[in-house]
């Protein structure tokens, strides 16, 4: 997933004494830890390098962190190849034009509701919660629920009762 505008609301606080700050949601962080415990591999691919991103990724034990990368589809495809995953088995969350090719490449592209129009158009799913406020957690919960769900039984057509 992207970082700024996905794991954050897209705001970067530039401190007058130097450095920067970002606001990350605890909900999203907990969701990512739940994925880790379930054996789901996560990766962050950011167009900008940031010590705040490095620190938060370390806290959450994100195994694959790529910063300062504008070629997000290539990074995602390369990483999935090294992990032995087909694109159909990958999800990607992004919020801007730079994410569009990765959104299209992944088996499911996801864009927060606050994403730019190009990312929204490329996405197959839009979480109800906003970026930086639980959108990633919503996706984590859906992934975990899908992994725990029993295989679907063959569907049987059930007649709809008629109104009397």
Rounded to two decimals, the pTM is 0.88
For 64, the 3-state DSSP assignment is strand
- The three-point CA angle 133-130-89 to 5° equals 95
pLDDT in tens, 66-77: 999 999 999 999
pLDDT in tens, 49-90: 999 999 999 999 999 999 999 999 999 999 999 999 999 999
**C-alpha of 42 from chain center:** 9
Q: How many CA atoms lie within 13 A of 58 on its CB side?
A: 6
DSSP state of 63: S
| Cα(80)–Cα(142) distance, integer angstroms | 21
Structural domains in the chain, CATH included, are: 13-141 (3.40.50.1000)
């Amino acid at each position: 997933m992207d970082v700024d505008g996905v794991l954050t609301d897209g705001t970067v606080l530039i401190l007058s004494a130097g450095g920067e700050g970002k606001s990350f949601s605890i909900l999203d962080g907990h969701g990512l830890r739940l994925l880790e415990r379930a054996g789901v591999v996560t990766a962050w691919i950011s167009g900008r390098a940031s010590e705040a991103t490095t620190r938060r990724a370390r806290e959450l034990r994100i195994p694959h962190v790529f910063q300062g990368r504008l070629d997000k589809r290539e990074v995602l495809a390369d990483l999935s190849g090294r992990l032995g995953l087909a694109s159909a088995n990958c999800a990607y969350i992004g919020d801007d034009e730079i994410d569009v090719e990765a959104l299209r490449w992944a088996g499911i592209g996801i864009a927060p509701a606050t994403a730019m129009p190009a990312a929204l158009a490329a996405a197959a799913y839009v979480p109800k919660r906003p970026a930086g406020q639980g959108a990633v957690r919503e996706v984590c919960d859906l992934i975990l629920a899908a992994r725990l769900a029993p295989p679907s039984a063959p569907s049987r057509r059930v007649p709809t009762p008629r109104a009397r």
